[in-house]
Amino acid sequence: MVPPSSSYSPSLRPPDEHSRATKWNPASSLSRLSFSSSRRSRPWGTSPRGWVVLCARAWRGPPATGEGPQGPEKGSLQPVESQSVPGLTFPSALTLSTLAFLMLIAVLTDQIWTRTDEQYPRPRRQESLLRTLRTAERRILSDVDWSDPRTEEKKFLSNHLPVSAVDLSVHFYIKTSGLRLYLSRAVKSADTWARDTDSGSVTFLFDNHQADVVDKFGAEKPWIAIRHVEGTDKQGEYKGRGDKKAAIAAQHLKTRAVLDSYLTGPIPDWVCYLDDDMSVNVAVLKEDLLELSPSCSPDCLIAHGELFNENPYTIGGYCMQSNLVKRLATLFATKTDDELGWTDTDDVDFNKHVMQDALGVTVTNSERWYSEFAFPEVDEYGDFHKHSLHELSSMYGAKAWDNFSERKKAAQNDVELMARFVPNVAVYHMGYEK
């Protein structure tokens, strides 16, 4: 019995051909979907072969009804022209040619309609992210009215769009210090993940502490760049009883130092600004940027995103798309921190007053970025899930920190978990490497 959802119905064929109809194949209904709606309730007389019969009847004229046994049977079809005119006339020859053409079309269409999926497979989806990126049009940055930092005309800088993660150009800036603890982090980064980048695409932003040691460090590792930012020696004093005002000023100066060279010079596809306690899997990061960019381009700001008093902000650093880099560089060139309302930290306050209020940009959270306030857990299917302190705060309230610390420590002590986790995330806190 043929299921009612089938695209095949016995009424689609003449009665004498029911036994030769293709057996119903539930997998084939989708491949014949474009035909099923027109065939489902169509009477036999309007099937492909039915059309031929109808045309033949119209040409031959009405059936002979008054002839006896010696003549044609009742209801048989006889051409009116042939009974009175010997041979074929031009109209009848033309009609026969038309009928032959109709029969050919009927046979061909009938074969197509009764094909199974093995003969006529469904097309596979060929669209992919990379194809979309290859065909996307790059717009010209010079068309933008940069006097309005929140202009709706957001243009790309380069004249080509990378077709794969390998083609992405990324420049990393690391906020650090010449003090011993921070310098040791810089050395570790330079000797590990920074070697996986293009030469000269990692710049360490130092203060003037142990400037000679820092310069020697840079000279010994030619694949990195060193820059001393004046006025940032108190960068780390925002904690405890230090000079918080000077520390915030240092944060602002280093943030601006990332952007000042891009006001007129060439801009890579992405610029990343990271704390010195963050590590990077460069290949994974490029894949992550490429995958997330369609949802936020051309002004992507990608990071571990969190909320503070319902305001989105970045933790541990971020990566900015080239168009956003240009807009931010132009904004910094025309506005002071006070004019922007940026008077506090380079994470929460920067995101609130500079990114959101001035530029209209909100961070895009990546599931492959793990700051010190995030940890992984694995479900029963072996998939990683990112959990954050903010998430637990909404669930456990005052007990959130204890819950977070316990679960993060358990994750860090799981050797098998860390062996799978660390190589497969884009950016992560150095604490996971212990």
Report pLDDT for 61: 52
Residue 198 counted as domain residue: yes
Tell me, yes or no, whether 99 and 142 share the same domain: no
Residue 313 counted as domain residue: yes
Per-residue pLDDT of the chain (434 residues; tens, 9 = 90+): 433 333 333 333 334 443 333 333 333 333 322 323 333 333 434 444 554 444 555 445 555 444 444 444 444 444 444 444 445 555 566 666 777 777 777 656 555 444 444 333 333 333 344 334 333 433 333 333 434 444 433 333 333 445 688 889 999 999 999 999 999 999 999 999 999 999 899 999 999 999 999 999 999 999 999 999 999 999 877 776 778 999 999 999 999 999 998 988 899 999 999 999 999 999 999 999 999 999 999 999 999 999 998 899 999 999 999 999 999 999 999 999 999 999 999 999 999 999 999 999 999 999 999 999 999 999 888 888 999 999 999 899 999 999 999 999 999 999 999 999 999 999 999 988 86
Tell me, yes or no, whether 162 and 269 share the same domain: yes
Burial of 200: CB neighbours in 10 Å, binned 0-12, 13-18, 19+: exposed
Residue 344 counted as domain residue: yes
Q: Is 382 left (phi over 0), alpha (psi -120 to 50) or beta?
A: left
Report the number of distinct structural domains present in the chain: 2
Residue 398 counted as domain residue: no
Q: Strand 311-321 and strand 301-308: pairing?
A: antiparallel
Residue 380 counted as domain residue: no
Tell me, yes or no, whether 140 and 99 share the same domain: no
Joined together, the tokens standing for residue 407 give 């679960």
Tell me, yes or no, whether 149 and 99 share the same domain: no
Tell me, yes or no, whether 19 and 60 share the same domain: yes
Report pLDDT for 89: 58
Tell me, yes or no, whether 46 and 172 share the same domain: no
Residue 167 counted as domain residue: yes
Tell me, yes or no, whether 27 and 154 share the same domain: no
Last residue of a domain, one of 331, 366, 401: 366
pTM of the model: 0.64
Is it true that the peptide bond before 298 is cis, omega within 30 degrees of 0? yes
* Residue-range definition of the domain harbouring residue 22: 10-113
Joined together, the tokens standing for residue 424 give 């497969």
Last residue of a domain, one of 47, 80, 113: 113
Q: In this structure, what are the phi and psi dihedrals at residue 202, rounded to the nearest 5 degrees?
A: -125, 120
Residue 427's DSSP bridge partners are: 280, 369
Q: Which of 94, 234, 121, 224 is nearest to 177 (CA)?
A: 234
Residues 171 and 268 sit within 8 Å (Cβ to Cβ)? yes
Residue 336 counted as domain residue: yes
Distances (CA, A) of 209 to 171, 186, 278: 24, 14, 21
Tell me, yes or no, whether 34 and 65 share the same domain: yes
Report pLDDT for 355: 98
Residue 274 maps to which CATH number?
3.90.550
Tell me, yes or no, whether 100 and 159 share the same domain: no
Joined together, the tokens standing for residue 241 give 């009883």
Tell me, yes or no, whether 228 and 331 share the same domain: yes
Report pLDDT for 384: 86
Tell me, yes or no, whether 50 and 147 share the same domain: no
DSSP class of residue 45 equals G
Residue 101 counted as domain residue: yes
Residues 194 and 202 sit within 8 Å (Cβ to Cβ)? yes
DSSP class of residue 89 equals -
Last residue of a domain, one of 330, 350, 366: 366
